[in-house]
Amino acid sequence: MLEQIAGLIRDVAETELLPRFRHLADHEIEEKSPGDVVTVADRAAEDRLTEGLSRLVPGCTVIGEEAAHADPAILDRLADEGPVFVVDPLDGTANFAAGRPEFAVMVAQLRCGRPVAAWIYDALGGHMAVAEAGGGTWLEGVRVRLGKAPPLAEARGAAQTRFLDQPWRDRLDARRGDFVDVGSTLCAGHDYLRLLGGQVDFLLYWRTLPWDHAPGSLLVQEAGGKSARPDGRDFICDRTSRGILSAVDESLWRQVRANLLPHLGN
């Protein structure tokens, strides 16, 4: 099933996203909320993924980003025991709409809110990362095993502070000199692929929409890294928890938490 879903993701990207990249008309881009855009490509890809997943896994629940925007009540299904898929049909929509190459397709399968399988696909680069709980992380058929992290002062990190409470946002931003700040691509899928590929040592986000982080959290964990809520809890999709910190190993995870988020305590 992992390969069948990977094949579906590749097909949807190649038929719905790539032909529209840098070919969108103005009327095909909308602002669904201030600073948050959606395109015809998002909607077409989500429709295709929803149909394809429902065919491959009969009876499953599919929670797509655009479906959840239209009907937030569907998020109550995140904790269901049966097969639940969260889908980001076009992660990095703003990049896509602006003609920038950092966009991806992301899917995760959940059981009781916990990611048990994950896919992130870099559509332009053609790179697919896949993970299954207990089965490891694979990037284009090669097992990914993250190595030992450098100390925090030498670590390359991307910390998204936009949704962090203002006093702590200011404090974290003031500490960006404590690590090598490489910045975010504004596409969680690409950021997680950078971590798996060794270009980034840690990632910190505060807003944690399930389709943005369920795939990456499992990919990092199964590659030997640590991905968890900043208070140390496992990443489980729900409607209220905030924050996710991912690092190539637990030592760096603890250093980042202690230095950048001291308000959480020990």
**Phi, then psi, of 37 in degrees rounded to 5:** -105, 155
User: Based on the domain organization, do 110 and 228 belong to the same domain?
Assistant: no
Q: What is the band of 265 on the pLDDT scale with cuts at 50, 70, 90?
A: very low
pLDDT for 263 equals 62
| Residue 197, C-beta contacts closer than 8 angstroms, at least 6 positions apart | 139
**How deeply is 150 buried, as exposed, middle or buried, from its count of CB atoms within 10 A (0-12, 13-18, 19+)?**
middle
Same domain for 140 and 190? no
In this predicted model, what pLDDT tens digit does every residue of 88-144 receive, in sequence order?
A: 999 999 999 999 999 999 999 999 999 999 999 999 999 999 999 999 999 999 999
Report the C-alpha gap between 69 and 89 in whole angstroms.
Answer: 13
Q: Among residues 140, 136, 143, which one has the least CA distance to residue 121?
A: 140
pLDDT in tens, 192-233: 999 999 999 999 999 999 999 999 999 999 999 999 999 999
**What is the DSSP-derived secondary structure letter of residue 183?**
-
pLDDT band at 264 (very low <50, low <70, confident <90, very high): low
Dihedral-angle region of residue 186 (phi above 0 means left; psi in -120 to 50 means alpha; beta otherwise): left
Cβ–Cβ under 8 Å, residues 146 and 200: no
Give exposure, 21-59, as e/b (b: 16+ Cβ within 10 Å): beebeeeebeeeeeeeebbebbbbbbbbbbebbeeebee
Are residues 123 and 188 located together in one domain of the fold? Answer: no
Does 34 have pLDDT greater than 80? Answer: no
- pLDDT (tens digit, 9 = 90+) per residue, 50-89? 999 999 999 999 999 999 999 999 999 999 998 999 999 9
Tell whether 140 and 156 lie within a shared domain: no
199 and 163 assigned to the same domain: yes
Domain boundary among 144, 160, 179: 144
Last residue of a domain, one of 81, 114, 144: 144
- Going by pLDDT thresholds of 50, 70 and 90, the confidence category of residue 266 is very low
Q: Residue 88 and residue 215: Cα distance in Å, rounded?
A: 10
80 with 59, same domain?
Answer: yes
pLDDT at position 255 over 80: yes
For residues 43 and 172, membership in a common domain is answered with no
| Domains of the chain: total | 2
Mean of per-residue pLDDT scores for the chain:
94
Q: Whole domain around residue 177: which residue ranges?
A: 152-264
CATH (domain of 194) = 3.40.190.80
Same domain, 160 and 55: no
DSSP states along 31-49: EEETTEEEEHHHHHHHHHH
Q: 139 and 161: one domain?
A: no
**Which one of 128, 144, 160 terminates a domain?**
144
98 Cβ neighbours under 8 A, 6+ residues apart: none
Q: Which CATH number does the domain housing residue 57 bear?
A: 3.30.540.10
Statement to judge: residues 77 and 197 lie in one domain = no
- Residue 137 and residue 158 in one domain: no
pLDDT digits (tens, 9 = 90+) for 143-159: 999 999 999 999 999 99
One domain for residues 34 and 131: yes
